[in-house]
Amino acid sequence: MATLYPEIDDRWNQKIDRARCVVSVRDSGVLVAAGVVHDAVLAPTSAMGALELGCMAVRPEYRCQGIRQQVTDLRLEYVVQAGCIPITVIDSANPSSWAAYERSERWERERTFESDGRTKYIYRATALASDWLSPPPQRDIASSTLAGHSVRPLPSSWHSPQVHTTR
Ligand SMILES: CC(C)(COP(=O)(O)OP(=O)(O)OC[C@H]1O[C@@H](n2cnc3c(N)ncnc32)[C@H](O)[C@@H]1OP(=O)(O)O)[C@@H](O)C(=O)NCCC(=O)NCCS
Give 111-138 pLDDT, tens digit per residue: 999 999 999 999 999 999 988 887 654 5
Task: Write out pLDDT tens, residues 5-14.
Answer: 999 999 999 9
Nearest CA to ligand 1 atom 18: 64
Whole-angstrom CA distances from 31 to 21, 57, 92, 109 are 16, 11, 27, 30
Nearest CA to ligand 1 atom 33: 96
pTM, entire model = 0.86
HEC per residue, 28-92: CCEEEEEEEEECCCCCCCCCCCEEEEEEEEECHHHCCCCHHHHHHHHHHHHHHHCCCEEEEEEEC
The per-residue pLDDT for 12 is 96
- CB of 58 shorter than 6 A to ligand 1: yes
Contacting residues for 67 by C-beta, under 8 A, at least 6 apart: 25, 32, 33, 58, 154
Return the domain boundaries, the chain.
Answer: 13-160
Domain 13-160 part of CATH 3.90.1150.10: no
The per-residue pLDDT for 158 is 52
Among 68, 71, 151, residue to substitute to test ligand 1 (most atoms within 8 Å of Cβ): 68
Centroid of ligand 1 to alpha carbon of 54 (angstroms): 15
The per-residue pLDDT for 87 is 98
What mean pLDDT do residues 87-107 have? 96
Q: CA torsion 7→166→34→123, rounded to 10°?
A: -90
